[in-house]
Structure 1
Amino acid sequence: MEDLEYLRDEINKIDKEMIELFEKRAKISRKVAEYKMENSMNILDKSREEEVIKANLKNLKDKSIKDEAKTFLKNVMEISRNIQKREFKQSSKNSEIKAKGQNSDAFKVGFQGVPASFSHEALIEYFGNKSEALNFESFKDVFEALKNGTIKYGVLPIENSSTGGIPQVYDLIGEYDFYIVGEKCIEVNHNLLGVKGASVCDIEEVYSHSQAFMQSSKFFEKHKNWRLIPYFNTARSAQYVSEQNVKSKAAIASKNAAKLYGLDIIEENINYNSNNYTRFIIMGKDIKSDKQCDKISILITLPHKPGTLCNILKYFHENNLNMTKIESRPIINKSWQYFFYIDFDGNIMNKDTRYALKGIEEESVYFKLLGNYKGDCF
């Protein structure tokens, strides 16, 4: 049997080689980020990552560790994405929020909230440094700005993997005549933030968006004496706590918000679901579609009688279309009647997809194609 110290020494040598290779890979990842920014490409390319993992697993000699190798490769991919995200943010650092009228060559994109909000992060990751970001007080303000031409696109949260859909945004989609032209999924990790020197023992009040409270509910079960106060959004909460500069007040927000507003991170990653993502949609005035689009969103209302929803669902089954989301929202002034928002995989250039859409439209009282765009969530 080989000596333990010898084996450890061998592992140390391998680790040294891995670190050297990791640095080389990180350097290339930064160059990839530069290319993606210059060409307005998304950070995540699911098909590319799947190809890389599949190709590397073929090179694996010891098939007994195939699952572990797959996990290893996925982690490497995630690290590369994080490096690229950092490059995207750095390139946009000096132009994140600009006064109206500046940078007239860039198109304007609106979001709800303040710098360091997750909406702002989604905007930066989707558009890179090609746009001028304008922040607004409410979701409705973003839609109004799109309506009057102040902005070309709006970035809005539509659903979270832990707490589901965001009703206000769904209702506004039904109210305004705009289209979904893209989407961006952002990993959401909530942190308990306080002023410099504050600790858990000092806290009496916590400010944040209601979604953040729900996504961190298990953490707050251990602190039932704290007052949870809903606020505009996570980043605004961090800004408010920073301005108040009182140890008894805390906020739930991102690490970026802590850095921007000069707060300490008292507790990290307090959301109960470690796989916590928020899906953001990109809204525009005109529908866009090309061969790369792989996701479709529609809005319908159905006759108020039994079996109508079943009639709609058959078109997905018969045409082998994968429905990824269905959300119902009440129609104002029509008791017990609903809008249905449906997402599914597909491209409107496909014959079977067009046939399904035609059938769904014929079965519906109201039908609108909300968009055909490139999906980002997985």
Structure 2
Amino acid sequence: MAELAQLREELDRIDDQIAKLYEERMRVCGEVGEYKVKNGRKVFDRQRENDKLADVASKVSGDFNKKGIQELYQQLMSMSRKLQYQQLVEAGALGRLPFIRISDLDRQNARVVFQGTEGAYSQAAMKQFFGENVNGFHVRTFREAMEAIEEGAADYAVLPIENSTAGPVIEMYDLLDEFENYIVAETILPIVHTLSGLPGTELSDIKRVYSKTEALMQTADFLDSHSDWQRISVVNTAIAAKKVLDDNDRTQAAVCSAYAAKVHGLSVLVDEINDAEDNSTRFIVVTNQKVFLENASKISIRFELPHRSGSLYSVLSHFIYNDLNMTKIESRPVKGRPWEYCFFVDFEGNLEEPAVKNAIRGLREETQNMKILGNY
């Protein structure tokens, strides 16, 4: 039996040959790319790649080796495509990216919509981003807010997309998919919940607590210590505060912000009742214009993939190869196609950066129904 050192020497010899063959292969792939650029040919030819995978599998024996060589060639062909996408971008063949760069948003004259009512966290986020004197108004639902900017009743909408403890606001992903509206900025608001009630209310008076479902979840530890209180969900925290005021009933309290309590004339009975001290919500600023700020540093996209093994893995390689940091991924069901999903991805970058252009070119070729949701 050969010694380990001898076996490793043999592997090194084989690897040297593989490295030289890899360089030779990539040189030929570069020539193929030049031909495609000159003749307007698509980089990604799925049928050609499927035929190639079947061919190489037929040249080795055993299920393990067949699967292994197909995985190897999938990576080789992926590297070939990335080189050719780079050649296309360098030749100016990026494809249509109809986003216009702007230097700033018109925060002084903008009309802004938020979901909820006076005192909502969304209103606080709107004022945090646009200023105390913002020309704002509220609507009942997220959909109505998206409709308001689509129809031109508002220039921007400020809407929650993710909470640091409760996770994503799923409805917003579906609406971003449905509407032709785009993210142009974001703002992060610390979420500090209070227990608030009518002036003069004592904790011993309380029988029912109202709030948004997520807020009740985020204050569960405090509420659990008062197990006799009934918890009732309403649309949002500000509406909970308004209900307590309107009902004029000291047996009721609301989990809401100190701001909402002040707006609706309630007293803060217990402050800072969050389970997590670092609770915060990320709000997106949405418009119906395809614009992005020149200093934008995050991109959100949406795409679909073929329903087969390895498709997501292959697509995510575009971020790795182009040194782009992916910060978030979510999946949602595709309407009308049971058990198929679309993906929402956030990654760092600006639409004018060559690495971003190269990645987007590859993603457009290899995914279905890709949409850039915004650069902000």
TM-score of the aligned structures, taking structure 2 as reference length = 0.70
2:279 corresponds to 1:276:
yes
Residue 230 of structure 1 is matched in structure 2 by 233
Q: Is 333-342 or 284-293 further displaced after alignment?
A: 284-293
Instruction: Work out the CA distance in 1 between the residues paired with 2:290 and 2:279.
Output: 29
Q: Give secondary structure in 2 for the equivalent of 1:328.
A: strand
274-283 vs 309-318, which moves further: 309-318
Residues 1:166 and 1:251: Cα distance change in structure 2 (over 3 Å)? same
The Cα shift of 1:291 comes to 3.2
Report how far residue 157 of structure 1 moved.
Answer: 0.3
User: Is contact 2:119–2:264 with CA below 8 Å preserved after alignment?
Assistant: no
Mapped to 2, the partners of 1:333 and 1:217 lie a distance apart of 37
- Give the one of 126, 134, 142 matched to 2:129: 126
Cα RMSD of the aligned pairs, angstroms, is: 1.3
1:178 corresponding residue in structure 2:
181
Q: 1:256 aligns with which of 240, 246, 259?
A: 259
Indicate if the aligned counterparts of 1:107 and 1:130 stay in contact, CA closer than 8 A: no
How many residues are paired up? 269
Residue 332 (structure 1) shift: 1.9
Percent of counterpart pairs with the same letter? 39
CA contact (8 A) 2:194 2:271 kept: yes
Q: Matched residue of 1:306: which SS?
A: coil
Within 2, Cα distance between the matches of 1:183 and 1:295?
Answer: 10
**Residue 196 (1) aligns with residue 199 (2):** yes
Which residue is equivalent to 1:330?
A: 333
- Preserved contact between residue 106 and residue 130 of structure 1 (Cα < 8 Å): no
In the alignment, the residues of structure 2 paired with residue 129 and residue 266 of structure 1 have an alpha-carbon distance, to the nearest angstrom, of 26
Q: CA deviation at 1:301?
A: 1.0
Instruction: Verify the 8 A CA contact 2:112 2:135 in the aligned structure 1.
Output: yes
Equivalent residue in structure 2 for 1:117, among 117, 120, 123: 120
Distance 2:242 2:190 in 1: 21
Map 1:1-378; keep pairs closer than 5 Å. 106-129=109-132, 131-373=134-376
Which residue pairs with 1:66 in the alignment?
A: none
Deviation at 1:289, TM superposition (A): 2.3
Cα separation, 2, equivalents of 1:358 and 1:313: 13
2:366 and 2:324 mapped to 1: Cα distance? 17
Pick 1 or 2: higher relative contact order, CA cutoff 8 A, min separation 6. 2
Query: Alpha-carbon deviation of 1:288?
Result: 1.7
**Offset at 1:249?**
0.5
Query: Which residue is 2:46 aligned to?
Result: none
Q: Read off the aligned partner of 2:348 and give its amino acid letter.
A: D
| Structure 1 counterpart SS, 2:200 | coil
Are the counterparts in 1 of residues 210 and 253 from structure 2 also a CA contact under 8 Å? yes
Q: Deviations over 1:255-311 (max 9, x none)?
A: 111111111111111111100110000111112224311010001111111111101
CA distance in 1, matches of 2:297, 2:340: 30
- Any unmatched runs of 5+ in structure 1? 1-104, 374-378
Q: CA deviation at 1:129?
A: 4.9
Deviations 1:21-58 (A, max 9, x none): xxxxxxxxxxxxxxxxxxxxxxxxxxxxxxxxxxxxxx
CA contact (8 A) 1:208 1:234 kept: yes
Distance in 1 of aligned mates of 2:131 and 2:331: 33
Query: Larger C-alpha radius of gyration, 1 or 2?
Result: 2
Can you list the C-alpha shifts for 1:144-164, whole angstroms capped at 9, x where unaligned? 111221111111000000010
Q: Is the 8 A contact 2:184 2:293 kept in 1?
A: no
AA aligned opposite 1:303: P
Superposition deviation, residue 130 in structure 1? 6.2
CA distance in 2, matches of 1:130, 1:302: 45
User: Gapped runs of 5+ residues in structure 2?
Assistant: 1-107
Counterpart of 1:141 in 2: which secondary structure? helix
Distance 1:106 1:167 in 2: 31
What secondary structure does 1:289 align onto?
A: strand
Amino acid at match of 2:226: H
